[in-house]
Amino acid sequence: MIFHSKLKEGTYDDFLTSMKQVHKLRKHFGDMPITVLSAGQKGLNTEESYRMWIALHEDLLELSTNCTHVILENSGHNIETEAPGAVVDAIEKMIHAVK
């Protein structure tokens, strides 16, 4: 399978700069429900970069007192196409949570 992307891969320094910008603008959302879906397969990532990615996702759980983290063991980076049912489930749960 060949993917064509209009995105440019940044450097590690670009990534760190982006993370600093995110932390600077970060705020807490009280008890707003937040669901974080993470790929369970590391794909082309190294073990180290995959662990860092999961750690970043876990960091998002600090944005609210009402967070859920789901690691989709059989999915890679493209969760929306590799595990669409899990995405739909997460959206439906969120809709019911905010009603």
pLDDT in tens, 77-91: 889 999 999 999 999
Position with higher pLDDT, 23 vs 54: 54
Q: What are phi and psi of 44, to 5 degrees?
A: -85, -5
Between the alpha carbon of residue 86 and those of residues 71, 80, 82, 98, the distances in Å are 10, 8, 9, 19
pLDDT above 70 for 12: yes
pLDDT in tens, 27-63: 899 999 999 999 999 888 788 888 888 988 998 899 9
